[in-house]
Structure 1
Amino acid sequence: MARSAASSETDCGGGTEAQAKDVCLRLLAMRAHSRAELAERLAKRGFEPEVARGALDRLAEVGLIDDAAFARQWVQSRHQYSGKGRTALAIELRGKGIAPDQAEAALAEISREDERERATELVRKKLRTVDVSELDAAERDRLTRRLVGMLARRGYSQGMAFDVVKSELRELAANAES
């Protein structure tokens, strides 16, 4: 009885290096992956560690796996499109198996000014629908806590988050008075 391609992929019983490379190429066609992510996926599919290592080494040789490039791309993308701060990005990279030195190099590409600018954009977006002039002191404090919490969950330092929120609220209040 012939086995389907799907079942041979999921329980390959060790599989060959060529099969492991095919699995990796399919995953890489969807999005970039770190070497550790690919190794984990191969292990879940039953590939022996030495087979997986051989396939991953070959893919790295030809430049299809590059953790440093992956980390740089991941950091830029997640910072720009998801509004993540350095702390959250460092945690994500660690979870993806990126070496600390490669993660630090990628994170260094986001300057403190870039991070502050992105935090300011996020706060401004949230404040578009708020009329600060109508808030009493308790509501203003509650709004401040909500905004600082939002930035903290995205990986911005508490000091930066509080400073950005206070600055934006002051600016909104000044514009409302003008």
Structure 2
Amino acid sequence: MPDAGDAPTTDRRRSPAGGRARRAGAAGREGSGDRPVGADAESDSLNGGGVVSRAAAPGDDRPAGGRRRQRRSGVDADGPDGGPARGRPGARGRTGWGAAERDDDADPDSVARSICLRLLTDRARTRQELAQALRKRGVPDDAAARVLDRFGEVGLIDDAAFAGQWVRSRHTFRGLGRRAIAIELRRKGVDDETAGEALAEVDQEAEEQRARELVDRKLRTQRGEVDEAVARRLLGMLARKGYPAGVAYRAVREALAEHAAELAEQLPSGDED
């Protein structure tokens, strides 16, 4: 008689008893909490007694349900400084955290360096912006000061260079005037002297030219004659972008005069039969 272990595979697949046994075994493994090799290693963690889904890494496309679970648990999205706006200290944001930042026993200087380097890879930042980010993450002030001083010595923090880049970018691409840019620099911790040197690149002639470009671009979409309401909207746009009243009025008046002349040229002449 052949040994039972030598039975054909087809007989085992066709055996109803064998199928029920395999299903029962699988159910037992699931009920016992055992996970098969190669299963997804992601697991929920505990946060104040509540179950929290894992934080998203860069490029992570989680379903909407996962994001809702994360918001309910108290771990919020990134704030203005690139880190979590609220939630427990050390909670991971969308951009992720370094190993040193997740370790509660890590050296404060190492944590501060890790945070600053991660924020500086996104864009240049002022010393005040980095100091605020470190304070929000609970880094001691003395450790933050040591790291920021060292970053300044090696040129990773340079408020003057930051101000120059900020002025050129905001004036060229966003069309902001000197006054609006100066307010932004002050909010970012750039002192008035450094901001004034950077803003010297945008003189009155440059402001007038940029204001006129903004008005002309708006008028290109305007059909027919321009009434007083359109003129008020153009003046309001320039005021919100930080242009002085005199510059705004000249730009709008000259642009409207040219626009009216172009419309008059397009009208048919009354002498034609």
What is the TM-score normalised by the length of structure 2?
Answer: 0.59
Shift >6 Å, 4+ stretches: none
**Distance change (3 Å), C-alpha of 1:41 and 1:14:** farther
Report the identity percentage: 49
CA distance in 2, matches of 1:12, 1:116: 54
Unaligned 5+ segments in structure 2 are 1-89, 266-273
The farther-off stretch of 99-108 and 14-23 is 14-23
**Contact 1:12–1:47 (8 Å) recurs in 2:** no
1:121 aligns with 213
CA distance in 1, matches of 2:104, 2:190: 27
2:30 aligns with none
Which of 122, 137, 146 matches 1:45?
A: 137
The answer to which structure, 1 or 2, has the higher relative contact order (CA under 8 A, 6+ apart) is 1
**Contact 2:101–2:114 (8 Å) recurs in 1:** no
What is the TM-score normalised by the length of structure 1?
Answer: 0.89
Question: Which has more radius of gyration?
Answer: 2
1:87 aligns with 179
CA distance in 1, matches of 2:115, 2:217: 41
Q: Aligned-pair distance for 1:159?
A: 1.5
RMSD: 2.2
Query: 1:1-178 maps to which residues of 2 (within 5 A)?
Result: 6=97, 9=101, 15-132=107-224, 134-135=225-226, 140-178=227-265
Amino acid at match of 1:102: T
**Contact 1:37–1:97 (8 Å) recurs in 2:** yes
**Distance change (3 Å), C-alpha of 1:36 and 1:12:** farther
CA distance in 2, matches of 1:14, 1:99: 34
Aligned residue pairs: how many? 171
Which one has a larger percent helix, Structure 1 or Structure 2? 1
Unaligned 5+ segments in structure 1 are none
**Distance change (3 Å), C-alpha of 1:166 and 1:42:** same
Q: Aligned-pair distance for 1:131?
A: 3.0
